Structure 1
Amino acid sequence: MDYKDYIPYGCQSIDEDDIASVCSVLRSDWLTTGPKVAQFEQAIANYVGARYAVAVSSGTAALHCAMYALRLKPGDEVIVPPITFAATANCVCYMGGKPVFADVEPDTLLMSPDEVEKKITSKTRAIITVDYAGQPCDYDKFQVLAKKYGLTLIADSCHALGAKYKGKKVGSLADLTVFSFHPVKHITTGEGGAIVTDNEELAERVKKFRNHGISFDFHHREKIGSWFYEIEELGYNYRITDIQCALGISQLKKLSKFLEKRREIAKQYDNSLKDIRGISPLVVKDNIFHAYHLYVVRVDPLLTGVDRKELFKKMRENGIGVNVHYIPVYLHPYYRKRFGYDFGLCPVAEAAYEEILSLPIFPEMKEIEVERVVSILKQSIFIK
């Protein structure tokens, strides 16, 4: 296969404005902890409608920061979905807590509020929802649950920058919301992430944690003319650079165009796949503006004559970079060994995992490439 004909499942979109923005920082006096970081944070906060944004080195770092901000301690429980990237649950483990998995809805693969309520105990501290594939979860129900049981609601919205729930942007609907700026996401900083919140105390704790737990940062010490600082709590170096933030500022200006293109591709898929028996896109609920980080379908082997594993192989052999998002987190060896999790914990998620397939979707994808994906998909199944 010629690599130039390969269609990846996701890919960044970089133009000359992005390159110029980065080059301007490389020619400046600040490569990190400089003015671009604060500018990017303000731009993110303004975009989602939050009071505070703290930019960090990755979406995973952002999740870890959120757990630290909550003062999570060993023995505490946090409810998470099984269909997500492992970082959603890993961040709980980083603090010595226990991730408790609640099953998903079969039509959307979003975590079920009813299943979450069943898992709440006296040890539960928080709920981490995931806006899987770019579709916001049922924030109304999760807000009610969080208030009823005195829990913190955290949104892992790494798939959903720009998505809306009942007209409100993701980022303004939870106590803390986390974003990722990995190259396959809606905007990129290379690697990077952010935490947004309306809570000043939580924002300040995150800022301290991303900088080793230091009490006074460089800018504060310069302002008062002092060298002195103290490490008050153990933190990490989760800082993001001005180089990355310059790219992020430039990318954010194009987000609406990126979202429009993703939604156009999703619509093209919807129209092209509706007559293929056994290939079913996930349901999109009413009053949702879907950001389409992923375009996920379910493959019914009885109707297609091919199971997901075989279809994956055939698509890859023909240059289509399909992927699978995700194996239920608790089935990873680490979780099975540490917590004793096993098959049967979340049956809906386990059944979905055997069938789901992510088709390519990214802003630079051309209409003819979508047609090629669908054509290869049709050729790879045996419709009965």
Structure 2
Amino acid sequence: MNFFSTSVSEAAIEKVVSVLRSGFLNEGAVVKEFEAALAEYISGPTFVTTNSATAALHLCLVHLGIGPGDEVIVPPQTFVATGLIVLHAGATPVFADIDPLTGNIDPVSIREKITARTKAVIPVHWGGEPCDMDAINQIASEAGIAVIEDAAHAFGAEYKGRKIGSLSRLTCFSFQAIKGMTTGDGGAIATMAEDDAIMLTRRRWFGIDKLRTPVTDIGERSVAIDILGYKYHMNNIAAALGVGNLPDDAARLARRREIGATYIEALVQVPGLRHIQRRTDSRGSFWLFPVLVDEREAFGRAMKSRNVPITVVDRRIDKHPILGGLRDDLPGIAMFDMQQIHLPVNDALTEEEVQRVVDSVKMGW
């Protein structure tokens, strides 16, 4: 039994082989094909693919003009990249607390952290569970700050009947190898504004939109670069994996939700273990299945002795010296960080393996 799995369909393998045989491996028509497929799947936004979610988040900050002297509000319960990209932009990350019952950023804390220097907030749909986006978007609108959703865990998740990616101006996804939908490594920005999509497409490749820029009769791409750009584009090989894998995403997502529902029902009465609170009006992606346990070290030893893979995927990132060091004004994350641990929920788990997890937890620790 593995904690994570990498799902690659036969169609994806065939698509990659076709790209390899084509001799054109760089960013090209297959990237545009993948972006169009993503837009159809989410329904609403335009997609700009990148080579990682980290690159996608950084591009959004740069695109919004965020830099030195600015502040960006982030949660401490996330992967460290969410904080580092703020530093890459030259801005200062400011940590809002989380709700210790959900693991997601607390809108009340966001409001408390806003200053005259605040330019954006990055809510993270941690583990694939949607944040309270109505409250967050209202607070951001009142304060005149941008919202960049970090949906690295939440591809396919829904908030009040709408897929994540169709709620805010900018949403960033991850297609890294162990994510539910993978391109091997890669990311994407979903934007509700075509103007944003055009500028982000330029910024991802040195300020040039090479798919829209004509080539002259002498083979020259005639451009005048007037914005700062990066080498953040996706190539045709990664996009081919995406094109081939995307049609199976709904089935993989349904399987993870099925496993999650089994855990929720079977483990609700286990002493010393509590489920996180999940929104009843939304549906998560179940990329992670966190539980809150008493005596976590004992729990971990017990599960390992029963050959059940468990881990703590993300710990509070404010502890890192480069992000300012451990805060003492975040009681929500302090509580959550000491109790969280994660059970395997990947779509490759068999029924027998899921039952082994359930039985092992019920045995106690």
What TM bracket, shorter-length normalisation? over 0.9
1:266-345 matched pairs, under 5 angstroms: 266-300=260-294, 307-336=295-324, 341-345=325-329
2:337 alignment counterpart: 353
Letter in 2 for 1:319: N
Deviations 1:332-357 (A, max 9, x none): 13223xxxx43413111111111100
Superposition misfits of 4+ residues, deviation over 4 angstroms: none
Letter in 2 for 1:178: C
Q: What TM-score comes out, normalization by structure 2 length?
A: 0.95
Letter in 2 for 1:347: P
How large is the Cα RMSD of the aligned pairs?
1.7
Distance 1:316 1:244 in 2: 35
Residues 1:169 and 2:169 are matched in the alignment = no
1:185 alignment counterpart: 179
> Contact 2:71 / 2:120 at 8 angstroms: preserved in 1?
yes
The alpha-carbon deviation at position 168 of structure 1 amounts to 0.9
Distance 2:41 2:329 in 1: 38
2:348 alignment counterpart: 364
Distance 2:305 2:216 in 1: 59
Deviations 1:225-262 (A, max 9, x none): 53433443332211111111111011110111011100
Distance 2:200 2:123 in 1: 19
- Of the three residues 182, 188, 195, the one matched with 2:189 is 195
Distance 1:223 1:277 in 2: 71
Distance 1:343 1:115 in 2: 14
1:4-23 matched pairs, under 5 angstroms: 7-23=1-17
- Of the three residues 203, 215, 228, the one matched with 1:222 is 215
Residues 1:27 and 2:21 are matched in the alignment = yes
SS at match of 2:308: coil
Letter in 1 for 2:18: S
1:303 alignment counterpart: none
Residues 1:260 and 2:248 are matched in the alignment = no
1:130 alignment counterpart: 124
> Contact 2:125 / 2:151 at 8 angstroms: preserved in 1?
yes
The alpha-carbon deviation at position 76 of structure 1 amounts to 0.5
Deviations 1:64-114 (A, max 9, x none): 111111111101011111111111121111011011111111211111111
Letter in 1 for 2:215: E
> Contact 2:267 / 2:362 at 8 angstroms: preserved in 1?
no
2:358 alignment counterpart: 374
Number of corresponding residues? 364
Letter in 2 for 1:194: A
The alpha-carbon deviation at position 379 of structure 1 amounts to 4.0
SS at match of 2:39: helix
Distance 2:15 2:38 in 1: 17
Give unpaired runs (5+ residues) of structure 2: none
The alpha-carbon deviation at position 371 of structure 1 amounts to 1.4
> Contact 2:290 / 2:343 at 8 angstroms: preserved in 1?
yes
Distance 2:192 2:336 in 1: 35
Deviations 1:189-231 (A, max 9, x none): 00000001012232222212211223x5266242675343344
Letter in 2 for 1:350: A
1:243 alignment counterpart: 237
Q: What TM-score comes out, normalization by structure 1 length?
A: 0.90
> Contact 1:325 / 1:356 at 8 angstroms: preserved in 2?
no
Residues 1:147 and 2:131 are matched in the alignment = no
Distance 2:49 2:305 in 1: 39
Distance 1:218 1:250 in 2: 22
> Contact 1:315 / 1:380 at 8 angstroms: preserved in 2?
no
Distance 1:124 1:139 in 2: 18
1:4 alignment counterpart: none
Deviations 1:256-307 (A, max 9, x none): 101110011001111221121111111111211121110000002xxxxxx2
Give unpaired runs (5+ residues) of structure 1: 1-6, 301-306
> Contact 1:70 / 1:202 at 8 angstroms: preserved in 2?
no
> Contact 2:291 / 2:343 at 8 angstroms: preserved in 1?
yes
- Of the three residues 102, 116, 121, the one matched with 2:110 is 116
2:32 alignment counterpart: 38
SS at match of 1:140: helix
Distance 1:49 1:374 in 2: 36
Aligned identity (percent) is: 36
2:75 alignment counterpart: 81
